[in-house]
Each structure stands twice: as C-alpha cells, then as structure tokens.
C-alpha cells in the first residue's frame, strides 16, 4: 500500500484531461412509461406476449391455445418412439407410486385410497396443462406431512374422520386457488424468497421428522404422540419400549428396509439398474403381504392395512367447506401447504428442464398445478405436487412427455378398480419402511457441507430451518427459514461494505479494493472509497459514518507519515445501484461536514438511477457538476493536479 510519487500522476493529467467523457444523464423518462417498465420487469420479466408479436390472427389463436395447453405444442410431433419411452417410464413410476401413495395418505392422516385417488386425477390434468416433461405428479412426502400436521391441529383425524377429510379437501381446493392465483397474477417470484439453503435445511429436517413418524408403524407402537418434534417422538418410543413394541413387526420391517436400501444402493452405483429401486417397493409389498396372509401374522399383533375401498374417486365438491368456521382455516392451511407444494414442484421442474435444456415458464406452471389441485379437491384427491423420487425415476426410465403421467394414472385406475382388496394383508411396517427409504435421500449432508464452505450465513439459515423442523414443527421451521432468508438480505443492505481503493500498479487507470489487491497504491492527498450497495434509508447513516471513520483513520495515518493532508474524498459509486431520498440527504450532510473540514467531495461513475436522482434533488448543483466524473481515474487526475498545485504554492 505505497503512496505513489506525485510527479508522474501530474504528467499524465495534461495529456488525458482533454478527452474526458461526460457522465451520461439519460433524458428524463415519461413517468407512465417508467411505471410500465417497472411493472413489466417485476411481474412480466419473461415477456409472455413476445411470440405473439407480428403474427397473423390465426397463428395468434394457435399460439394462445398452445400457451394454455402445452399438449398442443408437443403433441403435434408425438411419435411411437416417444410413446415407448413414456410407456416404460409410466409403468415404472406406477409401480413405485402405488405403495408410496398408500403410505403418504397415512402421513396426511387419510385412508389409503385417497393416496391412490391423488395419483389418478391430478396427473391427467397436469398432462394437458403442464409444461415439465419429467415431473411425476401425485402425493409427496413433505406436503403430505405438512398437510397432515396442520389439519390435525384443527380437527381430530380419528374421532372426526369425516370432518377431517372435508377440511382436507377444503385446504386442497384453496391450495389450488392460491397456486393458480400466484401464477395468474404473476407473483411467482414470492416463492423465490425461500433460499436454496433454507430449502435444503427444511427438507432434511422434514425427512427426519417423517422418518421418526414411521417409528410408530415400524416398531408397531400403538400409543404414539401426535407431535412431530424429535423430543416428543423419542419419549413416545422409549415410553413404549417394554409393552408397546411388536417383535414380528420389527423383523418384517427391518428385513424389508434392508432390502429397499440395498436396492437403492445398487441403483445409485449403476445407473443402468435404476429400475431395481423403482420396483423394489412393490416387490416388498407383494412379498410381505403374501407372507402375512400365509402365516396370519396379523393375529400376532402385526398391524395391517385392513381395507382399501375399491373403485375410483367419488365426486367431493359437496364436501368442500365454502361457508362456516372451517373456511378460513382451510384457506390458511391451503395457502401454506400450496406454497410448499409449488416450491417443490417448481424445483423439480427446473432441475430436469435444465438437465434436458428446455424452458419452464414458472407462472404458467403454477396455473397448471393450481388447476390440477382445484379439480383434485372436487374428485376426492388431496394436495398433489411433484415427487422428487418418482420424478428422478421417470427421468431415468426415459420419459419423453407428460404422457408417462397418463400411463401411471391408468395403472392406478386399474389398481383401484381391480386389485385394492389384495392390499388387505399388507403390513403397515412395510409402508413405513418404504417411506423411510424414500425420504432418507432428502437428508442432504453433501449440500449442507457445500453451503458451509460457500456461505456461512446461508449455513445458519439452513441449520435454523433444519433444527426448527426437527425440534419443533414444520411450521416453525418454515417460519425460521423465511425469516432468516429475508434477514440476510436486509443485513447486507443495512451494513454494506465501504472499502478503500488504490491504483493497480501496472494498469495505470484501474482502481481496486486495497484489501483484495494489496499491491494497489494510495494516491497522496486523496481518499478514494467505494460504497458496495445501494444507498438506502437503512444504511445511509452507517455509510456516512463509515466514510467519516475512514477519513479520520486515514488522516491520522497520513499525519504520522508527514504526508500532505487529505483534500479530496472521492466516492466510487459504480456499485451504488440506487439511492433514495434518505440517501440523498446523507450525501448532502456528508458534503456539508466535509466542507467544514475543508475536504472536497468528489463522485465517480454514478449509474443511471443515481444520476437521475442527483439531478431531481439538485444535489449536483450543491456538490458541483464538475465534481462528478465518469471514472475514478478521471477524478483522481483532476484532484491530484489540484493537490500538486496547492503543494507548490
């Protein structure tokens, strides 16, 4: 951090100052135009009407139809080869979804057939409206758990099963409405407020919670807590150790859990065997059901599914609460669960879209998911979304379009019509084992470690969400996740970095942070700082005081080394994206207090929004138009000439 010698900087001054480019002041914008542009970038960043521009009317109609029903777009070049891929993928995910559905319905405290119903209607709707080619639609673990815990806070699922189910349909209906509304009003960016780190922590925590819940079925415990936190669950487990566990259940459970995990391991090791973990659950169900039936293990305390209603979905419009005290509860639960379901579905859609390199329109996707859940709520389905595990299998099995969902749906239909009675002797412990093996992959320690390496604050968010879910509840975990995500943004805007700049030695016009570039040289008589943020009400006092502190610190240092005193304070405004009225007032205050110390304030490279506001507030007149430069280098050249002149006098 050496101080550059004066004469050289002076020499260059004369030769360069002749062609100084002025700071660009954009012509004042029309207010309405400005407003329209802001709204457009905020709500329509994807410019959805662009393809319609300059097209004949008939073409517009077709494009409009294709926009609403993507099936018209990809349907035209659908081929037998593609269908082959979809058929295989559809059959594979069907075999995976049937046992999962029955288990997930239990997570939502609903009878098993509702899980199957939810894998029948929503995938059909999605196939027509949705634009992701790889997502597998149906019940999902996290959403089932959230819906289940939130619903049981309102109605007891055992004592008031009918009311509980009605509230579940109501919540599903309003979840669909929420999702579609977010898409229609183009507010999809709201779900972006859950950061990646928060999602990783939240999902890992939820996976542990779900696995813990399975201990009930897995150990054959009869009295089990209604709470989901680890402390309550563990107390339930230990409390029942002497009289509540059933050894036959445990043997069946552990055997098949081992089998499932082994299948998973094989599938992971060799991608060619992806179908082994995909069909392992169904094989487990068949084998264990047969085993229980033969040995009548149900008489020895092994809990079984007992009864799944035969036949397809009944209409359930009349069961949705549109009036009464449960409406608002349904709205609230629906909004929360619907947003989580959206987050999950969009994350899946985006992941696979980027792998196959096609575009997903977030807002359109929300409308599709919303519509599918609204229809679902009227046909005895509960909240459906994309399932991570099934979507991955779908992708690996070579699905081409949403037709694989249709295939799955048809298989589920056949299951409902024909073979549900066969599930009677399926032991509950198998369903628990299937759920455990499905959610265990969601505990993403690798991502957590990566987050720790990249960003410590993100890791705090991740852990906050994780511990919130594990030690309290999914709602608290979610609240922590959102709060910490927002707090991080606010912290950055409240305490932005204000750094000192120096000139790089071999590049004679580049000024950089002297912390990052230790060989950057200071210029005598000047202090160059850069504010690394928009200047807003939340940080303007801090920025002003921080600059004041740099000035007094550096003045002391300069004095101690008998160097000329600081006469110019140059602020590099390059990263200052925006400034508000509070920020303008702060700069005015800074200017005035610097004047009292006989230091001139000089500004470099204000952006478009900033220079606009300088003019509007007449700050340019106060500071002086000639004290605002295009680059730090221009400012330094001008100022060091003056410093040199003053030194010579």
Please list every residue from 447 through 486 that binds a copy of itself, using CB under 8 A. 450-451, 453-458, 485-486
Least Å distance, CB 573 to a copy of itself, is 10
Q: Which residues pair with 385 in a beta bridge?
A: 138
Site membership for a copy of itself, residue 490 (CB under 8 A): yes
Query: Which residue from 148, 267, 496, 502 is in contact with a copy of itself, where contact means CB under 8 A?
Result: 496
Q: DSSP label at 295?
A: H
Among 13, 409, 348, 332, which residue's Cα sits nearest to residue 177? 332
Stretch that binds a copy of itself, among 189-197, 230-238, 242-250, 425-433 (CB under 8 A): 189-197
DSSP string, 539-557: THHHHHHHHHHHHHHHHHH
Site membership for a copy of itself, residue 492 (CB under 8 A): yes
Which string of x and - marks every residue 431-450 that binds a copy of itself (by CB under 8 A)?
Answer: -------------------x
The strand ranges marked E within 290-432 are: 385-386
Q: What is residue 36's three-state secondary structure?
A: helix
Site membership for a copy of itself, residue 45 (CB under 8 A): yes
What is the token pair recorded at 74?
């990809």
Site membership for a copy of itself, residue 575 (CB under 8 A): yes
Alpha helical stretches, state H, 108-195: 112-118, 121-129, 141-152, 161-184
Least Å distance, CB 520 to a copy of itself, is 8
> How far apart, in whole angstroms, are the C-alpha atoms of residue 407 and residue 88?
9
Least Å distance, CB 561 to a copy of itself, is 18
How many chain residues interact with a copy of itself (CB under 8 A)? 91
Site membership for a copy of itself, residue 47 (CB under 8 A): yes
Q: 3-class secondary structure for 38-76?
A: HHHHHHCCCCCCHHHCCCCHHHHHHHHHHHHCCHHHHHH
> How far apart, in whole angstroms, are the C-alpha atoms of residue 508 and residue 420?
79
Site membership for a copy of itself, residue 133 (CB under 8 A): no
Least Å distance, CB 214 to a copy of itself, is 30
Interaction with a copy of itself in 523-542: which residues (CB under 8 A)?
A: 532-534, 536-539, 541-542
Least Å distance, CB 448 to a copy of itself, is 10
- The secondary structure element, H or E, covering residue 431 is helix 428-439
Site membership for a copy of itself, residue 294 (CB under 8 A): no
Least Å distance, CB 226 to a copy of itself, is 28
Site membership for a copy of itself, residue 73 (CB under 8 A): no
Q: Which residues pair with 498 in a beta bridge?
A: 531
Site membership for a copy of itself, residue 581 (CB under 8 A): yes
Stretch that binds a copy of itself, among 241-249, 402-410, 434-442, 503-511 (CB under 8 A): 503-511
Stretch that binds a copy of itself, among 30-38, 61-69, 169-177, 316-324 (CB under 8 A): 30-38
The strand ranges marked E within 481-597 are: 498-503, 511-513, 526-531, 568-572
Site membership for a copy of itself, residue 251 (CB under 8 A): no
Stretch that binds a copy of itself, among 202-210, 289-297, 466-474, 502-510 (CB under 8 A): 502-510
Least Å distance, CB 500 to a copy of itself, is 12
Least Å distance, CB 389 to a copy of itself, is 21
Least Å distance, CB 587 to a copy of itself, is 12
Residue 309 or 615: the one with the smaller Cβ distance to a copy of itself is 615
> How far apart, in whole angstroms, are the C-alpha atoms of residue 433 and residue 284?
9
Query: Which residue from 399, 611, 639, 644 is in contact with a copy of itself, where contact means CB under 8 A?
Result: 611
What is the token pair recorded at 507?
């590049």
What is the token pair recorded at 291?
């085993």
**Residues 471, 602: contact at Cβ < 8 Å?**
no
CA distances from 406 to 128, 217, 251 (A): 10, 32, 37
Query: Which residue from 223, 417, 515, 645 is in contact with a copy of itself, where contact means CB under 8 A?
Result: 515
Handedness of CA 275, 280, 282, 283 (dihedral sign): positive
Least Å distance, CB 403 to a copy of itself, is 25
Site membership for a copy of itself, residue 51 (CB under 8 A): no
Residue 376 or 386: the one with the smaller Cβ distance to a copy of itself is 386
Residue 90 or 362: the one with the smaller Cβ distance to a copy of itself is 362
**Residues 194, 342: contact at Cβ < 8 Å?**
no
**Residues 626, 601: contact at Cβ < 8 Å?**
no
Which string of x and - marks every residue 540-569 that binds a copy of itself (by CB under 8 A)?
Answer: -xx--xx--x--------------------
For the chain, the distance separating the N- and C-terminal CA atoms, rounded to the nearest angstrom, is 28
506 CB-near residues (< 8 Å, 6+ apart): none
Least Å distance, CB 229 to a copy of itself, is 26
**Residues 179, 346: contact at Cβ < 8 Å?**
no
Least Å distance, CB 79 to a copy of itself, is 23
Interaction with a copy of itself in 364-423: which residues (CB under 8 A)?
A: none
CA 337 from centroid of its chain's CA atoms: 14
What is the biggest distance separating any 2 CA atoms in the chain, rounded to whole angstroms? Answer: 108
Site membership for a copy of itself, residue 196 (CB under 8 A): yes
Query: Which residue from 503, 512, 522, 638 is in contact with a copy of itself, where contact means CB under 8 A?
Result: 512
Least Å distance, CB 45 to a copy of itself, is 6
What is the token pair recorded at 623?
């500071």
**Residues 465, 205: contact at Cβ < 8 Å?**
yes
Query: Which residue from 12, 186, 309, 585 is in contact with a copy of itself, where contact means CB under 8 A?
Result: 585
Site membership for a copy of itself, residue 158 (CB under 8 A): no
Query: Which residue from 362, 386, 502, 525 is in contact with a copy of itself, where contact means CB under 8 A?
Result: 362
Stretch that binds a copy of itself, among 164-172, 218-226, 370-378, 490-498 (CB under 8 A): 490-498
Least Å distance, CB 272 to a copy of itself, is 24
Site membership for a copy of itself, residue 195 (CB under 8 A): yes
Q: Would residue 578 be called left, alpha or beta, if left means φ above 0 and alpha means ψ between -120 and 50 degrees? A: beta
Q: Which residues pair with 138 in a beta bridge?
A: 385
Interaction with a copy of itself in 312-351: which residues (CB under 8 A)?
A: 350
**Residues 576, 606: contact at Cβ < 8 Å?**
yes
Site membership for a copy of itself, residue 84 (CB under 8 A): no
Query: Which residue from 1, 35, 322, 559 is in contact with a copy of itself, where contact means CB under 8 A?
Result: 35
**Residues 105, 147: contact at Cβ < 8 Å?**
no
Handedness of CA 604, 607, 191, 453 (dihedral sign): negative
Q: Which residues pair with 579 in a beta bridge?
A: 535
> How far apart, in whole angstroms, are the C-alpha atoms of residue 587 and residue 576?
13
């Amino acid at each position: 951090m050496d101080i550059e010698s004066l004469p050289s900087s002076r020499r260059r001054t004369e030769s360069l100052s002749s062609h100084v480019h002025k700071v660009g002041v954009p012509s004042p914008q029309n207010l309405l135009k400005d407003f329209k542009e802001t709204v457009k970038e905020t709500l329509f960043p994807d410019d959805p009407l662009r393809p319609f521009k300059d097209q004949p009317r008939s073409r517009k109609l077709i494009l409009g139809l294709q926009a609403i029903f993507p099936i018209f777009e990809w349907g035209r070049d659908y081929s037998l080869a593609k269908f082959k891929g979809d058929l295989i993928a559809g059959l594979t995910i069907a075999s995976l979804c049937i046992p999962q559905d029955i288990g997930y319905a239990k997570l939502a405290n609903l009878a098993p057939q509702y899980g199957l119903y939810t894998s029948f209607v929503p995938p059909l709707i999605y196939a027509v409206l949705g634009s992701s080619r790889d997502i597998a639609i149906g019940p999902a673990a996290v959403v089932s758990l959230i819906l289940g815990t939130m619903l049981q806070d309102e109605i007891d699922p055992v004592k008031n099963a009918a009311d509980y189910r009605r509230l579940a349909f109501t919540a599903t209906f309003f979840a669909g409405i929420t999702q579609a509304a977010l898409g229609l009003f183009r507010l999809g960016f709201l779900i972006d407020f859950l950061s990646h780190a928060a999602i990783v922590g939240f999902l890992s925590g939820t996976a542990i919670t779900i696995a813990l819940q399975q201990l009930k079925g897995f150990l054959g415990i009869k009295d089990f807590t209604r709470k989901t936190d680890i402390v309550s669950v563990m107390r339930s487990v230990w409390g029942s150790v002497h009289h509540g566990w059933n050894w036959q259940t445990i043997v069946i459970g552990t055997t098949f859990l081992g089998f499932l995990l082994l299948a998973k391991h094989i599938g992971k090791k060799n991608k060619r065997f992806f179908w082994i973990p995909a069909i392992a659950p169904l094989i487990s169900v068949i084998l264990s059901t047969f085993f229980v039936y033969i040995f009548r293990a149900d008489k020895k305390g092994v809990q079984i599914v007992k009864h799944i209603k035969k036949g397809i979905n009944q209409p359930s419009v009349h069961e949705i609460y549109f009036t009464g005290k449960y409406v608002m509860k349904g709205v609230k639960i629906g909004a929360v669960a619907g947003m989580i379901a959206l987050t999950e579905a969009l994350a899946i859609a985006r992941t696979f879209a980027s792998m196959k390199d096609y575009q997903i329109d977030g807002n359109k996707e929300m409308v599709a998911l919303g519509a599918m859940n609204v229809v679902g709520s009227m046909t005895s389905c509960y909240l459906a979304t994309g399932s991570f595990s099934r979507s991955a299998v779908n992708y690996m099995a070579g699905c081409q379009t949403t037709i694989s969902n249709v295939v799955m749906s048809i298989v589920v239909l056949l299951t409902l019509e024909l073979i549900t009675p066969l599930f009677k002797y399926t032991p509950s412990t198998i369903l628990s084992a299937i759920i455990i093996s499905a959610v265990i992959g969601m505990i993403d320690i690798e991502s957590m470690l990566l987050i720790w390496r990249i960003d410590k604050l993100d890791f705090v968010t991740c852990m906050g969400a994780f511990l919130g879910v594990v030690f309290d509840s999914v709602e608290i975990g979610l609240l922590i996740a959102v709060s910490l995500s927002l707090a991080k943004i606010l912290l950055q805007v409240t305490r932005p970095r204000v750094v000192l700049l120096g000139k790089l030695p071999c590049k004679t016009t580049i000024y950089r942070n002297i912390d990052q570039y230790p060989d950057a040289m200071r210029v005598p008589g000047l202090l160059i700082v850069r504010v690394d943020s928009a200047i807003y009400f939340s940080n303007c006092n801090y920025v002003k005081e921080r600059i004041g502190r740099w000035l007094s610190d550096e003045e002391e240092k300069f004095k101690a080394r008998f160097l000329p005193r600081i006469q110019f304070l140059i602020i590099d405004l390059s990263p200052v994206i925006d400034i508000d009225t509070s920020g303008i007032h702060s700069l005015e205050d800074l200017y005035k207090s610097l004047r009292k110390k006989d230091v001139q304030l000089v500004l470099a490279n204000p952006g478009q929004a900033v220079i606009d506001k300088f003019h509007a507030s007449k700050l340019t007149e106060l500071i002086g138009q000639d004290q605002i430069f295009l680059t730090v280098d221009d400012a330094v050249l001008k100022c060091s000439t003056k410093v040199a002149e003053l030194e010579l006098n």
